[in-house]
Chains A and B, each alone.
Chain A
Amino acid sequence: MASIALRRLGFAAGCLIALAFATPEVSAGRQTPSAKDLSAVIEMLRSPDPVVRVGVACARNVFNASAAAAIPALVELLEDAEPVAPEVCREDHRHWWGEEHAITPGEAAARALVHIGSASVEPLVKTLASPAAVARRNAAWALGALDDQRAVTPLIGSLKDRDASVRAQAAWALGAIAN
């Protein structure tokens, strides 16, 4: 019971965070969250509550080319497979397909890294060698979504990964990069 109440509280916090970053000031004029905002974001990415971690990683207008400072925290999150209800992620469109999959902080982080763009490619390539299979799979997905030629050779290497889900995601990514 207590844990459910805590989840609810966490969800509310996630919504508040998302709202805080959806202020007209950020979305209209100023594209760059200030260094102070960004360090708050980075701190929340390391929150002990997975709902907060997903809620922050899903805040779309935070992660763009100017949020490169958040890359290390997002990369750390790639191996985080703790499932959270999909509603926590406001950008989640999966309900369109009638699917209600849980979302993990690792998946949300992978998407945030894609939104940051080109600066994420090298750290993601390094993650393909992570000891955690979940991190390698999320990195392979993000590299496919980033559609960057620098990822091709490393992804060919991942086709020989010891984990089948990583190999499948690498094959997908190579097809996604191929135009």
Chain B
Amino acid sequence: MPSSAKILAAVLLASTFVCSHAQAQTVPAVPAATITALADALKDSDAEVRRQAAWALGRIRSEQSVDALIAALRDSDQEVRKQAIWAIGRIRSPKAVDALTAALKDSNIEVRRSAAQALAQIYGHGGGNPNPNPNPNPGTRPF
């Protein structure tokens, strides 16, 4: 069982790597209302809602959400900060470089690591993010 789990993990990792590169060319059009609503959800009182919103914005990859995601780098929840960094890394917004550089001094090692990876992505050396999607959906229910 552990070996098959490892193989599955390796395959998933490889496929997300390939997908993140394939998606780099096309940014799908998402209604502005979705982005605004998700940016608002980054200020929700519940940390899980903020995490999921950051994940969703990372999937959408719109420049429009970068300011809200930068603000989320000051979230009290480290998972939210990590997820926001992941999203910014996917959007590859040069605007976020200063905020990411500040996140290199975060109190949490995983946040600092994610920030380094996101910076690498923005400078064009990235993609091989060893933790490409730290977000399992709340129920972790398979599709």
Name A residues whose Cβ lies closer than 8 Å to a Cβ of B.
Answer: 92-99, 101, 107, 110-111, 114, 137, 141, 144-145, 152-153, 156, 159, 164-165, 167-169, 171-172, 174-176, 178-179
Contact = CB atoms under 8 A, between A and B. Distances in A.
A164 B141 contact: no
A169 B52 contact: yes
B142 interface: yes
Interface of B: 1, 4-5, 8, 28, 30-31, 33-34, 37-38, 40-41, 44-46, 48-49, 51-53, 55-60, 137-143
B34 A156 contact: yes
A25 to B, nearest CB: 27
Contacts of B31: 152
B5 A167 contact: no
A52 to B, nearest CB: 20
B59 A179 contact: yes
B100 to A, nearest CB: 21
Given A93-B142, A107-B139, A165 B48 contact: yes
Contact of B46 (A96, A168, A179): A168
B43 to A, nearest CB: 11
A78 B74 CA distance: 37
A92 B49 CA distance: 26
A172 B41 CA distance: 11
A168 B52 contact: yes
A175 B140 contact: no
Given A175-B38, A175-B58, 10 more contacts: A97-B140, A110-B141, A141-B137, A164-B45, A164-B46, A174-B34, A174-B38, A175-B57, A176-B56, A178-B34
Contacts of B141: 94, 107, 110-111, 141
| Most chain A C-beta atoms within 10 Å of own C-beta, residue among B1, B31, B40 | B31
Contacts of A152: 31, 34
A94 B45 CA distance: 30
A167 B44 contact: yes
A153 B5 CA distance: 37
B143 A145 contact: yes
Contacts of A98: 5
4 closest residue pairs by CB, A with B:
A175-B56, A164-B46, A171-B52, A175-B59
Contacts of A96: 4-5, 8
Given A107-B139, A107-B141, A165-B138, A172 B55 contact: yes
A169 B60 CA distance: 16
Contacts of A97: 5, 140
A174 to B, nearest CB: 5
Contacts of B41: 159, 167, 171
Given A165-B138, A167-B46, A175 B28 contact: no
